[in-house]
Amino acid sequence: MNEALETLGFIQSQLNAPKGQTNKFGGYKYRSCEDILEALKPLLETHQAAVTLSDEVCEINGATYIKATATLYANNSSVVVDGWAQEGSLKGMSPSQCSGACSSYARKYALSGLFAIDDSKDAD
């Protein structure tokens, strides 16, 4: 059995990553990748684990996507989850800023999948 899964279960049961951001236009609350990482770091230290995040640019049917990979390392084993986001252009943002926003979005969903963070509780 993958020993990192046991550590992952402990972290999932203890992780509390509140929605610390407010959308200026819609007024709804949300959590960012940074919010998740901030809540996660003390638990990683407690459980002697580590998380890495990486990105890969992928083209699928002519569209560009960022595939973010979140990996939890613990007890000489690991657990990996991917998150995806489609790149696009946003008014007022440079191409680099759009790529960065896409990366942050994909990483947030990779972390949400890995640590069982569910957004369905709120109606936003």
Q: Can you list the residues of the chain whose pLDDT is less than 70?
A: 1, 119-124
Q: How far apart are CA 65 and CA 43, in angstroms?
A: 31
Looking at residue 93, its pLDDT comes to 86
Looking at residue 124, its pLDDT comes to 40
Q: How far apart are CA 72 and CA 44, in angstroms?
A: 9
Contacts of 17 (CB under 8 A, 6+ apart): 31, 35, 36, 38, 39, 40, 115, 117
The single-letter DSSP state of residue 110 is H
Nearest to 39, CA basis, from 14, 17, 7, 8: 17
Q: How far apart are CA 80 and CA 73, in angstroms?
A: 9
H or E stretch covering 71: strand 63-74
Looking at residue 123, its pLDDT comes to 44
Looking at residue 120, its pLDDT comes to 56
